[in-house]
Structure 1
Amino acid sequence: MARKKRSSCEKKASNLASLPPELLDAITSYLPPSALYNVSLASKALATYIRTYAWKALAQSRFPSTCPSTSTSWPGTARTLCTLSRAWDRRALVARVIEPKDGGILVWPAGKREEKWRKPRGQTIGFTPVIDVKQYDEGGGRRRETLAWSAGAQVVVRKRLWKEDEGKGRAEKVEWECYAPVGASEGRDDVTALHQLDGQGKQDPGVRLIVGTAAGKLEEVSLPGTAGDSVARRDFVTDRESVRSSSVLQSTTGDSLLAAQLGDTSISLYAFDDSQASITANSKIDINAGNAITSKQQPRAWSVKLLSDTQLAVGTGPSTHPISVYELLPTGLSTTHVRHFTVAEHVERFPSPHVTAKPLNSVYPIIPLPATTTSSHPSLFLSGAYDGWVRMHDLRSRQDVVRSYVDPTDDSGIYSLLARGQESVIVGANSQSRLKIFDLRMGMTGYHYLDGQVGEQSTEGSRDHALFLRTLDHRKDSAVYNLASASPSSPHIYAGISARVLELAVTEAWHPKPDPVYFEKFRGGKTWNGWRTGEVLELAGYEIESQARQRLMMQSGLQGRPPAAGKSVEGLDERWWAK
C-alpha cells in the first residue's frame, strides 16, 4: 500500500522547533546539559533557541545562587557552572602557594620595575594576609582577574587575563605589581584592611584600593598600571586609631559606604564619592556606650560587615550577645543596635537544668548570604565563632540562630568564611591550616554531575569535609586568616595563612575536557596550566560526619599515585586515595 503523504500542516505540527516558546521552555527545563546539547544538533532553529534561551534558563534554574546576573555568553556560563559543580561534587582541587614571579615586577610608588620581589622582613610569626579579588567578563572568551593581598606593610597585586580562542586553545597573561608607602615599617604599618574598588571601566588597567593599617592609616590608593605614572591617594580621617577591620559597599549611582573598626570598640561610617579629596566619617559609635558593665567585662569588636545599604553587623566578644546589628540612617549609624544575637552552644546537646548563666562567646567573621535568582532579600547571614560553630541567622526570624554547622572533631575558632552562593560555605579555622566545607542545601541539590547519565544517579553521601592546607616549605601550625573568590561561579579560591597565600583551583586536573575558559587539558610533563607540577600541593582531608566515623584521605601529585598509596575513593577525584 502506498504511504499517504502528510500535508504541510501535519509536517509543521510534528516539528519540535515549531512548538510555542512556553512549551519548549517546559520541555527543555527537564533536560540535563548533555541532552540539551544533543537537541541543539537537531536543527538550526533548535540550535538558535537553545543558544539564546535554554542555556540561560538552565544556568538560572539549576544554579540559582551561583549564576551571575549577566553574561556575554550563556552557553559558556552554563558550561562553567556545570563543570564547576562536578568538580565540587568530586572534591577536585589543585592547590599551590603563589607569590610574585621574578622578572618585571612593577613597584609603587616609584613606578619602576624590579626583577625580584622583596619579601616582608622583621615579622615575628609571619604576616597575616588580607585578600580581595575581582573578575570581569570582557566578552569574546576573555576574562580578567585582579587579585590583591597584603604582605606585611605592602600590597601585592596580580593581574591575570584569560582568553579562550576557538581552535587555538587557551592563552593566559600575568602581570605583577607591589605597593608600599615610603617609610612603611614592618610590624608597625602592617596592612589590616584591604578592598578593591571597581574602576571606571572594564578595560581600565589601573587598580583602586582601600588600604587600612595597624598604625591608623586609612586611604584610597589608585595604582595607574603604567610605569612612570604617579600614584593617587586620598585619606579617610581616623584620628590615627588603629584600623582593625572594615567593610565596603560600593554604589554606581550614589555614595559608596565604608565601615571601619577603629581601635577595640569604635565603629566609623564613611559615605564617599570620587569628588572628595579627604573623607571624614559622617558618624562614629562606641559599641559599649550605655552598657552598665565594668571595664573588665567590656567586649571588643572583632569585625564589621555591611549587610546592605541599611544594615551593619558587628561581631564582638566575649559577650552573651556577640552579634549586634545597627541601622544605617540618613544621618549615619544608629547610636544603639536595633537587634543583637545570642550564639551560645547548643544547649540541647548538653542539657543541664542547673546552668542558668548565659555563656560568653566571641564572633569573628560575619558574611551575608548572596541573593538567588528568585529572592533578593538581604536577611540571611553567617557568623563564625570562637567555639568552632558556624551559624546562620535570619533577620526576619525571631530565633537568634536558624541553622548551625560544626565539625565534631574540631572545636577551634572560626577566623574566616566564604559563601559559594547559598550552596556551601568554606570555613577557615584558627589552627592546623584547616579548611572546612559545609553544605547549605540541607540535603537538596539542583544539579549533580551524574544527573542524566545512563545507569547513574545523584548520590546523597556526606558533602561536609575538611582540608589541611599545609605547604611544602611551611609546615608550622597556622590559622586560615582570610578567604576570597571573585564570585560564586569562579573556579579560583584564595586562602591566606601565616606568611603565605594559597590558590585553590576547583577543577579535575586529569579531566579530558576541562572548562576551556580557565583550564587546558593536562597532557603530562612539568607544567599544568602554567603551574609547575612540582609546586602543586598534596593536600590531606577527611569527611565531617561524626567522631566515630572518620576517614582520612590523601591527595596525590599530578604525576600519579605512588605504588603503595592506597585505595581510590569512589565518587571523588582520581587524586584522592584512602588507606
Structure 2
Amino acid sequence: MSSETLDRLKFGSLTLSEAPRLDTSPDDVLLIILSYLSTAQDISHLALSSRRLHQTISVDGWRTFVRNCFHSLSLPSPVSDNDWKELAKKLTSQSRDWDRRAFVFHVFSRHERLARGRNRRNNPGHNSQTVPCHIIVDVHSQLSGRTEEETVVWGAGEDLVALARRKHDNLIRSLTWRRYGGAESGFTAGRDDITSLSILKTTRYPQVGASGLLVGRASGDLRLLSMSGENFGRALRHYRPSTSEDNAEQKEIQCFDTHEQSNLLAAATKDRILFYPLQDREGASGDGTRLNMAATEEPAPIQPNEVFNIGDIRGLPYFRFVRSLKFLNDETVAVGLTSSAEPLRYLTLTPTGIQSSGAPNIASHLSSDEYHLGTVRALLPINAGSIASGGGKAILTSWDDGTIRLQDLRTPSAFDRIYQDHFEPTTPVNALVSYGFERFVGGSARAPVLKIFDFRWSKGYDYTESLPCGDHAPMPPPRPPTITPEPSVAARSRCDHLRGRLCRWHALSREIYYRPNCNVYLPKRAGSDTPVHSLAKASDISSTLYAGLAGSLVELALKTSSERGFQPSENPPYSYHKAKVNIIETGDGTALSDISESQRMPIIRAQSERRSEYRFPASITKRHRLDEWLQDPHDFSDLYP
C-alpha cells in the first residue's frame, strides 16, 4: 500500500462523517442560539426551516425570545406553550407603536343629562361646586390567551362609574356600564369628592380577579366597596378611627396605598399616616358572597393598627401637607411632602415602631435659597430586579421643579438619574406610570398633556432591526428644543454582522437623537387648561392607558391593538368618541444644567387619518420614524424631491 493511500486513510479517519446541522443540535444549544436572535421575524424564519426547529421554537423558542427581549416587563403567569407566540406578537407590535407614537385616543365625557343633574344639586351658594370634578381612575384586566376582560373604574366627584369590556382579538364581545350615585348614599359634591381610588388586585382569590374597590374621599371616608354587578358600590369594609383624639383624626384622605401580601393599607391625611389591616385574615372577596350581613347593613368601622404623625418627627423641616404615598415593600413606605426642605421621606415599619429617614444627600439637589421649598408630587416604585445588579428597591419621583428622579435605595446617592422635559423644563408632573424599565409616562400638572419618557436603559427589542438596510439617516430628522449636534456614523449601505458593522440607517436608528421623548397634547374642554389628575394601566403588557382630567376621561390605545366593534349601550352615563391629538418631540430627556438651553420650538405634528391617503409606497412609509397619521409629505423630500 502506497504512502499516499495511507495518508488518505488517516485523514479520512479524522474527518467527521457528516457536517454539524442546526436541526440536529441539542435543545439547550438551540435555545442559547435563539437567545441571540433579536427580532420575531428571525424566529419565524428559523421555525420554517425544518420540522424539528418548528417544534422546538413552538414549545420553547418563543418563550426564550419574549423573556430575553422584554425582560424588564412584568409578564403574565402562567403562560401556556401555545400562548407564547401570541404574546411575542402582542409585545413586538406594542413596542413598535410606542416607538412610532401610533396612538388612538377616545374621550369619555359625562352624559349631558347627568351633568345637568349635578348642576341642579349645586345651586350657587356657600357649598356649591362650580368647576368640573377631578377624574380619579384605576383599571384591572384578566388575560386568557387572546381574550381580555378589562374593567376600568373612575371617581367623578362623589360618584363612581365602571365600564367592563370583554375583548377577543381586540374585538369587543360585550360591554357593561355600572354607576354608583354618591348622592343616593348621602354623599355631597365637593365635600365628599373621591380623592383616591384603587382596584385591589389580590392574589388571595384568583378566581375572583379583583377583590374589591378601595375608595377614599375628601371628607375622610375610606371604604372597601363591592365590584359585583348588583352590589356595585356596596360597602364591605369601613376604615375609620372611632376615637376623637388629635393623633387619630381622619378629616380627609389625601392618598392611600396598599401592600396586599402583608395585608396593609396606609392612608394619608394632611399630616398623618394611618395603617389599617386591609382584609380579615380569613378573607372576604369583593364580590360580597363571603360576607354574612344584610345588604343595607353598615359595616362596623375598622380601627387602625398604628397612627404616625409626620409633624412629630424631630428635626423635620416645615411642610404644608402629605402629597403622595407608596409602599416600596412590606416594611418601607415612601412619603412625598408639599413645600418642604426635605420633601421625600421613608418610613420603615419595625416591630418596635415606625422609623423615619430622608433621602441621602438630598440637600445637594435642592436650591440653596432658604425660601425655595420642594414638593414631591408623585411616587412610583420600580421593579429593578430584572436589570443587571437590580435589587428591586428603586423609586421614581416627580418634583415641583419639573424634574423626575430615579433613585436606587441601595446606593448612597440621593438620585441615580434625573429626567426632564426639554420643551417645558419647569412644568411638574402630577401622576406617573411605567412599563418596566423601558418607558414611563407622566401627566402634566398644568395642562392636559402626557409626557412620554424613555428610561434610556439598554433596549432588549428594537423594531427597526427587522427593517431593510439603508445608507441614509432615519427620516424625518428631529428638531429638539436644545441645540444638539446630529450623530455621525460611517456611510455604509449594508450591515456586516460578521464584523459587527451596521449600515448607516440601522446605526443611526439606535442613537438616542433619533429616539426622542415626546409630549402628547390631549383634547381639552373649551376654555380649560385642566391638568392630568390621575393615570392608570392594567399591566405592563396592557395596550391601553387612561388619563383622568377635569370632567372627562381619556383613553390612549396602541394602534395595532385598538379595539373594534364598540357598540354604545342604552342610556350610558358617559358618552364616548374618538379624538385627535398634537405631538411634540422633546429631546433625550436628560436633566438640563440650565433651562436656558431649551431655546427653540420643535415641530408640532397633528394626528390626521387623511395622511394615510398620501401616495407613497408602504416600504417607504414604514421606514418613517413616526406613525402614518403623523407623517407629512415634506418628510419624504430627500427621497422624492
When the two structures are superposed, what TM-score results if normalisation uses the length of structure 2? Answer: 0.74
Specify which of 344, 352, 359 is matched with residue 340 of structure 1. 359
Contact 2:347 2:357 in 1 (8 A): yes
- Cα 1:152–1:229 change in 2 (3 A) is closer
Deviation at 1:553, TM superposition (A): 2.4
Contact 1:412 1:430 in 2 (8 A): yes
Contact 1:381 1:392 in 2 (8 A): yes
Contact 1:320 1:358 in 2 (8 A): no
Deviations 1:480-539 (A, max 9, x none): 1111111111110001111111000022xxxxxx35xx656xxxxxx78999x9932221
Q: Determine the C-alpha separation between the residues in 1 that align with 2:385 and 2:87.
A: 16
Q: Determine the C-alpha separation between the residues in 1 that align with 2:173 and 2:159.
A: 26
Q: Which runs of 5+ in 1 are unaligned?
A: 1-9, 103-114, 508-513, 521-526
Specify which of 545, 566, 573 is matched with residue 627 of structure 2. 573
Q: Does 1:66 align with 2:73?
A: yes
- Cα 1:154–1:576 change in 2 (3 A) is same
Q: Which has the higher strand share?
A: 1
Specify which of 52, 66, 87 is matched with residue 45 of structure 1. 52
Q: Does 1:145 align with 2:150?
A: yes
Specify which of 458, 471, 494 is matched with residue 546 of structure 2. 494
Q: Determine the C-alpha separation between the residues in 2 that align with 1:285 and 1:195.
A: 22
Deviation at 1:69, TM superposition (A): 4.6
Deviation at 1:359, TM superposition (A): 4.1
Contact 2:316 2:342 in 1 (8 A): no
What SS does structure 2 have at the residue aligned with 1:338?
Answer: strand
Deviation at 1:358, TM superposition (A): 8.5
2:195 maps to 192
Q: Which moved more, 1:282-291 or 1:202-211?
A: 202-211
- Cα 1:402–1:293 change in 2 (3 A) is closer
Q: Determine the C-alpha separation between the residues in 2 that align with 1:496 and 1:23.
A: 49
Q: Does 1:392 align with 2:406?
A: yes
Q: Does 1:284 align with 2:300?
A: no
Deviation at 1:207, TM superposition (A): 6.1
Q: Determine the C-alpha separation between the residues in 2 that align with 1:290 and 1:15.
A: 69
- Cα 1:293–1:11 change in 2 (3 A) is closer
- Cα 1:177–1:163 change in 2 (3 A) is same
Deviation at 1:203, TM superposition (A): 5.3
Q: Determine the C-alpha separation between the residues in 2 that align with 1:89 and 1:383.
A: 24
- Cα 1:142–1:243 change in 2 (3 A) is same
Q: Determine the C-alpha separation between the residues in 2 that align with 1:362 and 1:342.
A: 16
Deviation at 1:293, TM superposition (A): 7.3
- Cα 1:16–1:358 change in 2 (3 A) is farther
Contact 1:320 1:343 in 2 (8 A): no
Specify which of 596, 607, 619 is matched with residue 556 of structure 1. 607
Deviation at 1:302, TM superposition (A): 0.6
Contact 1:60 1:373 in 2 (8 A): no
- Cα 1:229–1:476 change in 2 (3 A) is closer
1:440 maps to 455
Contact 1:323 1:342 in 2 (8 A): no
Aligned counterparts, 1:415-494, within 5 A = 415-442=430-457, 444-455=458-469, 457=506, 458-460=509-511, 461-471=514-524, 473-474=525-526, 476-494=528-546
What SS does structure 1 have at the residue aligned with 2:627?
Answer: coil
Aligned counterparts, 1:158-557, within 5 A = 158-164=163-169, 170-181=171-182, 182-198=185-201, 201=205, 204=208, 208-225=212-229, 227=230, 231-238=234-241, 239-251=249-261, 255-262=262-269, 264-274=270-280, 275=282, 278-292=301-315, 297-330=318-351, 334=354, 336-340=355-359, 357=370, 359-373=372-386, 377-410=391-424, 411-442=426-457, 444-455=458-469, 457=506, 458-460=509-511, 461-471=514-524, 473-474=525-526, 476-507=528-559, 514-515=560-561, 519=563, 535-545=577-587, 547-557=598-608
Q: Determine the C-alpha separation between the residues in 2 that align with 1:94 and 1:229.
A: 30
Deviation at 1:74, TM superposition (A): 1.2
- Cα 1:36–1:233 change in 2 (3 A) is same
1:524 maps to none
Specify which of 160, 164, 180 is matched with residue 155 of structure 1. 160
Contact 2:106 2:576 in 1 (8 A): no
Aligned counterparts, 1:128-139, within 5 A = 128-139=134-145
Q: Determine the C-alpha separation between the residues in 2 that align with 1:26 and 1:409.
A: 44
Q: Determine the C-alpha separation between the residues in 2 that align with 1:99 and 1:172.
A: 23
Deviations 1:342-374 (A, max 9, x none): 657968xx9xxxx57584211111111124545
Q: Which runs of 5+ in 2 are unaligned?
A: 1-15, 123-128, 242-248, 284-299, 470-504, 570-574, 588-596, 615-620, 635-641
1:510 maps to none
Deviation at 1:219, TM superposition (A): 0.9
Q: Determine the C-alpha separation between the residues in 2 that align with 1:289 and 1:420.
A: 37
The two structures, once aligned, show a CA RMSD in angstroms of: 3.3
Counting matched residue pairs gives: 518
2:501 maps to none
Letter in 1 for 2:378: P
What SS does structure 2 have at the residue aligned with 1:575?
Answer: helix
Letter in 1 for 2:578: V
Contact 1:544 1:550 in 2 (8 A): no
Contact 1:120 1:153 in 2 (8 A): no
Contact 1:129 1:149 in 2 (8 A): yes
What SS does structure 2 have at the residue aligned with 1:396?
Answer: coil
Deviation at 1:172, TM superposition (A): 3.0
- Cα 1:47–1:561 change in 2 (3 A) is closer
Deviations 1:36-58 (A, max 9, x none): 11222233332221122111111
- Cα 1:20–1:163 change in 2 (3 A) is same
- Cα 1:92–1:287 change in 2 (3 A) is same
Deviation at 1:298, TM superposition (A): 3.7
- Cα 1:530–1:163 change in 2 (3 A) is farther
Q: Determine the C-alpha separation between the residues in 1 that align with 2:344 and 2:148.
A: 38
Deviations 1:91-145 (A, max 9, x none): 111111125889xxxxxxxxxxxx9798754442211122111111234x21111
Q: Determine the C-alpha separation between the residues in 1 that align with 2:250 and 2:348.
A: 26
- Cα 1:117–1:24 change in 2 (3 A) is farther
Deviation at 1:479, TM superposition (A): 0.9
Q: Which has the higher helix share?
A: 2
When the two structures are superposed, what TM-score results if normalisation uses the length of structure 1? Answer: 0.81
Deviation at 1:210, TM superposition (A): 0.7
Q: Determine the C-alpha separation between the residues in 2 that align with 1:459 and 1:119.
A: 54
- Cα 1:186–1:159 change in 2 (3 A) is same
2:500 maps to none
Contact 1:250 1:257 in 2 (8 A): yes
What SS does structure 2 have at the residue aligned with 1:175?
Answer: strand
Letter in 2 for 1:133: V
